[in-house]
């Protein structure tokens, strides 16, 4: 069972995030960059499947040079090797363009299963598995809260607001995972040491046979035109409890469509 996990480095959602005012793309150089939180669940799931079925876990990331930090984290958790696609021409690419790059990279790898997080905390477009599914001609099962592999079949519980769907497909397939699927392990110091010796292959667009002109901000299918900061927090609402405090609270929450 060969599994490829798609991993993205994103600005830490816990600290202040910015867009670059020159071209409205995510400011990555100045940010506190971390592995996309949802991807840790995909890595954990890949490692769990590997532990029961054998095989190899490969991490695939498209990103700037600094994305090696995210790769090292994935390797120290237990992934076996990594492919890092890095090319200045990719800067500012939209999801559609990025999916072409990832698909090209996947075509150079052997995989039975591709796993990724259900969304990234920076773009939150959540369409990557569907785009890749189209490009690669393999089934995609999105939003998994549970995954089992049996022979050449993958079964998934897709989480929905009201419950879940049972999905099943043949392999190879691509599955995206929610944070309900498992509890990602911590790396161990032994894992950190072992990660140093694991192979990381760096590839350019030329290595993948992708035309640099087909990606990047200039030809992106979507881009950010303008942005504004979040408006300052308003004064809170005070509810005076005159015996009907609970009703007033629920009334307020209902009016705000929060319940």
Partner 1 sequence: MPVRRLVPTQEAADLLELTRDLARSELAPRVVQAEASETFPREVFRTLGRAGLLGLPYDESVGGGGQPYEVYLQVLEEIAAVWASVGVGVSVHGLSCFGLATVGTPEQQRWLPEMLAGELLGAYCLSEPHAGSDPAAMRTRAVRDGDEYVLTGEKAWTTHGGQADFYKVMARTSDHRSRGISCFLVPGDAPGLSADPAEHKMGLTGSTTATMRFEGVRIPAERRLGEEGQGLPIALAGLDAGRLGIAAVATGLAQGALDDAVAYAKERETFGKPIIDHQGLGFLLADMAAAVETSRAMTLHAARLKDAGLPYGQQASIAKLVATDNAMKVTTDAVQVLGGFGYTRDFPVERYMREAKVMQIFEGTNQIQRLVISRALATGVTGATTVLGAPQPALVS
Nearer to partner 1, 74 or 85 (CB): 74
Find residue 158's DSSP bridge partners. 144, 165
Cα–Cα nearest to 32, from 121, 102, 92: 121
Structure tokens at 55: 């095989």
CA distance 115 to 159: 16
Nearer to partner 1, 68 or 133 (CB): 68
Nearer to partner 1, 67 or 149 (CB): 67
Structure tokens at 165: 């769907």
Instruction: State the minimum distance, in angstroms, from the CB of residue 76 to partner 1.
Output: 7
Nearer to partner 1, 135 or 198 (CB): 198
| Cβ–Cβ < 8 Å for 118, 176 | yes
Instruction: State the minimum distance, in angstroms, from the CB of residue 6 to partner 1.
Output: 22
Nearer to partner 1, 64 or 191 (CB): 191
| Cβ–Cβ < 8 Å for 16, 152 | no
Instruction: State the minimum distance, in angstroms, from the CB of residue 159 to partner 1.
Output: 23
Instruction: State the minimum distance, in angstroms, from the CB of residue 227 to partner 1.
Output: 28
Tell me which residues touch partner 1 (CB under 8 A): 72-73, 76, 186-190, 192-193, 195-196
CA distance 71 to 60: 8
Instruction: State the minimum distance, in angstroms, from the CB of residue 192 to partner 1.
Output: 5
**Residue 218 DSSP code:** G
Instruction: State the minimum distance, in angstroms, from the CB of residue 71 to partner 1.
Output: 12
| Cβ–Cβ < 8 Å for 5, 77 | no
Nearer to partner 1, 36 or 97 (CB): 36
What is the phi/psi pair of residue 98, to 5°? -60, -35
Instruction: State the minimum distance, in angstroms, from the CB of residue 195 to partner 1.
Output: 8
Angle value at C-alpha 63, between 178 and 14, nearest 5 degrees: 50
Residues 6 or more apart in contact with residue 121 via CB below 8 angstroms = 10, 13, 36, 37, 38
**Burial call 122-144: b when 16+ CB within 10 Å, e when fewer:** bbeebebbebbbebbebbbbbbb
Nearer to partner 1, 76 or 121 (CB): 76
């Amino acid at each position: 069972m060969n599994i490829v996990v798609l991993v993205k480095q994103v600005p830490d959602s816990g600290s202040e995030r910015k867009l670059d005012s020159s071209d409205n793309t995510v400011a990555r150089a100045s940010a506190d960059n971390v592995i996309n939180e949802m991807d840790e669940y995909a890595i954990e799931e890949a490692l769990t499947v590997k532990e029961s079925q054998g095989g190899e876990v490969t991490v695939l990331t498209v990103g700037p040079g600094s994305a090696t930090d995210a790769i090292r984290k994935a390797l120290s958790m237990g992934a076996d090797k990594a492919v890092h696609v890095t090319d200045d021409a990719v800067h500012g690419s939209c999801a559609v363009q990025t999916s072409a790059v990832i698909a090209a990279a996947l075509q150079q790898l052997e995989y039975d299963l591709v796993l990724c997080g259900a969304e990234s905390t920076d773009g939150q477009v959540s369409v990557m598995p569907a785009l890749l599914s189209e490009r690669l001609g393999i089934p995609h099962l999105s939003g998994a809260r549970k995954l089992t592999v049996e022979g050449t079949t993958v079964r998934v519980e897709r989480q929905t607001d009201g419950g879940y769907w049972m999905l099943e497909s043949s392999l190879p397939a691509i599955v995206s995972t929610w944070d309900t699927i498992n509890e990602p392990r911590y790396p161990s110091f032994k894992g950190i040491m072992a990660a140093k010796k694991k192979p990381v292959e760096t590839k350019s667009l030329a290595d993948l046979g992708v035309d640099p002109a087909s990606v990047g901000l200039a030809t992106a299918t979507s881009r950010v035109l303008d942005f504004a900061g979040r408006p300052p927090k308003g004064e809170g609402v005070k509810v005076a409890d005159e015996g009907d405090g609970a009703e007033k609270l629920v009334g307020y929450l209902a009016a705000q469509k929060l319940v």
